[in-house]
Amino acid sequence: MQCVKCPECSSIDDKVVDSRLADDGSAIRRRRECLECGRRFTTFERLEEAPMWVVKRSGEKVEFDREKIAAGVRSAAKNRPVAEDEVESLVAEVEDSLRELGSTLSSEKIGWAVLERLRKIDDVSYLRFASVYKGFTDAGDFEREVGLLTKSTEPKSHL
């Protein structure tokens, strides 16, 4: 049932005069006309995604924040030939792949999803991200990771 009130007279009786996609297809813009007073007004419909939750290593459960992933990737890619659209694309791919896994995820799965994609974009950014994510403590950790990175076969997926 429709419950949009006219901004002029508060009537809920209206008709849709025009509908079209808005915001690059992520919303529908509807032009409406009130059947009581004749005023025209616009409404927008947007898909509301179910929230995703992240269980951190400490056991704390927090709401998923795609900007945290983007900030981590940007930090790892600082002063590297990684364009902002590549970062945004990586974050979107990670978020889409994670949504398929369910509404509650471990921070470990998120980290592996980022690493898998970052590996294909830039080796140095990958190593920087891995050093923080995996908690490298000495040069040996970097050596092992470089060895894994230079292998001809991709590592097994952790998703």
Does 24 share its domain with 76? no
Q: What is the pLDDT of residues 40-69, one digit of tens each?
A: 999 988 777 788 999 998 999 999 999 999
> What pTM value is reported for the model?
0.63
Tell me, what DSSP letter sits at residue 83? -
Alpha carbon distance 113, 68 (integer Å): 14
Does 82 share its domain with 125? yes
Q: Looking at the 3D structure of the chain, how many domains does it have? A: 2
Tell me the three state secondary structure of residue 55: strand
Range of the domain at 72: 53-150
Does 98 share its domain with 42? no
Does 39 share its domain with 66? no
- What does DSSP say about strands 61-63 and 53-55: parallel, antiparallel, or unpaired? antiparallel
Position 23 confidence tier, pLDDT thresholds 50, 70, 90: confident
